[in-house]
Structure 1
Amino acid sequence: MDRYTYGNDGFQLLVDNQADAVSFIYSFPNLSMFFTLSSQGIFEGRYRNKGKKNWDVNFQSLQTECDVYGLCGAFGNCNPKKNPICSCLRGFEPKNIEEWNSGNWTNGCVRKRLLQCEKMNQTGDKVENDGFLKLETMKLPVFAARSYVSIEKCRELCLNNCSCIAYAYDAGISCMTWTGSLIDIQKFSSEGGDLIFD
């Protein structure tokens, strides 16, 4: 382990090549704090009062396995209360069934059939519009496009755009729409938002 000490302010940086982690230690007169960032992206804070031998965990960036970004891949839904924790969204199936069944979900899921909008672009035939499914109390995917419109306009905006695959509306944020793949979706037991997808 390499140890780097900066100044007389009690701050130290430790690099542990064997554990593949970087740690920061800051010592107060009666309290020491220890922060670790692992190669898996887990950030953990620990503290120790003077006179104690053990480091107590103050906080951890990952509360469940579902907090690992993209664990279930594209169009995969993570639910820490289910076994297995990853499932494909309705209308989707695992991209690689062997990997999926072995517990490696990172390749995610693919659509079972084309959306009406995609069929119309391929054949030129006029078809009915696609509908939406609603998932409640969800951690919404990242990388949303935002528009400051009403919830009705938000739905219309997504429905009239062949590239739009999902939308959500929050009174504080307004309209969020997604194109491309939905990644890092998670089912919460409470709170979260409603994700409406095609």
Structure 2
Amino acid sequence: MKNVMKSIMLILLGGWFVACSPSFQVQNDYDRSVNLKQFKTFWVQAEKNMTQDPLLGSELNRRRITDAVVQAMEAKGYRLDESNPELVVRYLTDVKDRQQVRSNNMSPYWWWYGPQNNVSTYSYEEGRFIVNIYQNRSDRMIWQGWASGKLKAPSKRDDRAAMMQGIIGDILRSFPQATSDTYSNEVGTR
């Protein structure tokens, strides 16, 4: 009985964590003609034509997103290089008001009033995080990843940074790891 209660508690706790975490759908696209594994250095900046979004585009959130991109890229083995990066990672965000319409053809009083169509609307904000990666020498986009979903900002500042790190980490998860040099410049060492 004790094991059953533990199992039920774990399931409920797991369901609570899933329900509380932001549910963003992540996708990406890339230029198949470019070998993405050839790069080792990067630089981060906001997209050039990014409009100032009052929620996500604040200076505080821009710093959080920049820090999250740096953390995710360095975890993949890339080195931050401000002076001459091979890649420029640019990001942008936006928020749109959305409405969901729900229709329920069953009324709890159908037996008394007959069939009814109950329609309800639900308003929410949909946020998008977009990460564009450019080859620095040509300023040509070679990879793009994005996440979109219902936006519910955490109530604590620390949670906001963790949310940004999670979303940016999810976006960049499919970007390849940096490869180390396997060739030696030394000649005749044998």
TM-score above 0.5, yes or no: no
Larger RCO (CA under 8 A, 6+ residues apart): 2
Whose strand fraction is larger, Structure 1's or Structure 2's? 1
Q: TM-score, normalised by structure 1?
A: 0.20
Q: TM-score, normalised by structure 2?
A: 0.21
